[in-house]
């Protein structure tokens, strides 16, 4: 077989459409009031799109705040010219230094007493900005509502930190329901308790991408768009509420073509058996590069404007596709794994449905071995 590494280096690319990113940002901006701030989530390397380039474009478009997962992600943005406020959504890990957050001017989410105690004892040249996280039903990070009576006195006595924000998170906002509405009501009550104690955070935020559409009462004065910035929908029903454009296009090329007679077994396990003479194209991309193995015998790619089925089990470095209906396809012909070509498309949402996953995982899983090429 041809060398997969050489083929992927020369023929496979991940194109990032920055104008589409900006269009999506403006679409989200149009959903909320002018006085509602957008905290654009660009953690996990902007969901695989490249945090630095995405951050630069969103900053130039007017994005007022970014969200990342770690000090390291925030440091990378600061060292590459990103000056807008940045929130570390996951807080500071026990092994990380608080002064690193101060050095890079990063705000920190705090949702447990262990971290808060460290902050209370922390001495810095300037106050550390905090976003206090309340667990209203996610069961992950955050102070429980029953802990607020113990929490408020500690916040009132803070000397080395400023409570800039108050936040919570939906575990399921794709569909509007009573549980979600109960979370909104609980968070509203928490806000009232904070205000009654004289703590008035500048930002109050709860709504992620789906919640921006489904829970307008949960927008407060800041929202946190993530997956929608990249042109994906957390739920298909949201397509009726906002028009988004996919930002990422992942394409490779046919490395070589073989023709098999009826009855031939293809790939590991022989799970696909040809029913007739079949032209098979070999694409030098596999699950090692982030193309899901779960798309074996069920996924589709775009070749010359036609949807072509994935045949057999996706290999570590190879994917087989049916070229029988595309007689013009040959070595070097483009294969679109994710994105559009000549009116046909494969979306991250579709790939997620086919694999029982979510578009977040599809986008984040595409290997960094493939260079991101940015359309300005």
Which sequence positions are flagged as catalytic? 43, 268
> Going by DSSP bridges, is the β-strand pair 344-346/306-311 parallel, antiparallel, or unpaired?
unpaired
* Residues contacting 62, CB < 8 A, separation 6+: 29
Q: How many CB atoms lie within 10 A of CB 39?
A: 26
Contact indicator for 356, 279 with CB cutoff of 8 Å: no
Residue holding tokens 């493939």?
370
CA distance 221 to 32: 9
The Cα–Cα gap between 337 and 352 comes to 13
- Does residue 230 contact residue 49 with C-beta atoms inside 8 Å? yes
Q: How many CB atoms lie within 10 A of CB 363?
A: 28
The tokens describing 96, both together, are 């990380």
CA–CA separation, 5 and 252 (whole Å): 12
Counting Cα atoms < 13 Å in the Cβ hemisphere of 344 gives: 12
Spatial neighbors of 124 by CB under 8 A, at least 6 apart, are 98, 99, 102, 160
Nearest to 92 by CA among 131, 54, 58, 64: 131
From 97, 82, 14, select the one nearest 51 (Cα to Cα): 82
């Amino acid at each position: 077989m041809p060398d997969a590494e050489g083929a992927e280096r020369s023929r496979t690319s991940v194109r990032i459409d920055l104008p589409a990113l900006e269009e999506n940002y403006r679409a989200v901006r149009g959903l909320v009031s002018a006085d509602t701030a957008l905290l654009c989530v660009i953690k996990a390397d902007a969901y695989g799109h490249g945090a630095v380039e995405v951050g630069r474009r969103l900053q130039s478009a007017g994005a007022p705040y970014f969200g990342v997962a770690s000090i390291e992600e925030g440091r990378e943005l600061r060292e590459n010219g990103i000056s807008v406020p940045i929130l570390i959504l996951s807080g500071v890990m026990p092994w990380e230094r608080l002064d690193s957050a101060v050095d890079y001017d990063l705000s920190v989410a705090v949702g447990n007493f262990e971290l808060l105690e460290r902050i209370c004892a922390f001495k810095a040249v300037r106050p550390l900005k905090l976003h206090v996280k309340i667990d209203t039903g996610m069961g992950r990070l955050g102070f429980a509502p029953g802990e607020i009576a113990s929490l408020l006195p500690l916040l009132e006595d803070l000397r080395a930190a400023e409570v800039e924000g108050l936040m919570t998170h939906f575990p399921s906002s794709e569909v509007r329901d009573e549980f979600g509405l109960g979370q909104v009501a609980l968070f509203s009550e928490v806000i009232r308790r904070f205000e009654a104690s004289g703590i008035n955070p500048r930002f109050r935020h709860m709504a992620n991408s789906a919640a921006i559409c489904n829970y307008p009462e949960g927008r407060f004065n800041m929202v946190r768009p993530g997956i929608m910035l990249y042109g994906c929908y957390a739920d298909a029903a949201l397509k009726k509420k906002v028009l988004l454009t996919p930002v990422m296009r992942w394409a490779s090329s046919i490395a070589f073509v073989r023709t098999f007679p009826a009855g031939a077994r293809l790939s590991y396990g022989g799970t696909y058996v040809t029913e007739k003479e079949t032209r098979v194209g070999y694409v030098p991309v596999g699950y090692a590069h982030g193309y899901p193995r779960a798309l074996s015998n069920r996924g589709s790619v775009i070749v010359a404007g036609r949807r072509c089925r994935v045949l057999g089990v996706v290999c570590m470095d190879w994917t087989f596709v049916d070229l029988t209906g595309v007689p013009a396809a040959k070595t070097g012909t483009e294969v679109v794994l994710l994105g559009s070509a000549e009116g046909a498309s494969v979306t991250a949402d579709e790939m997620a449905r086919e694999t029982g996953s979510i578009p977040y995982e599809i986008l984040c899983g595409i290997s960094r071995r493939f260079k991101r090429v940015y359309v300005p």
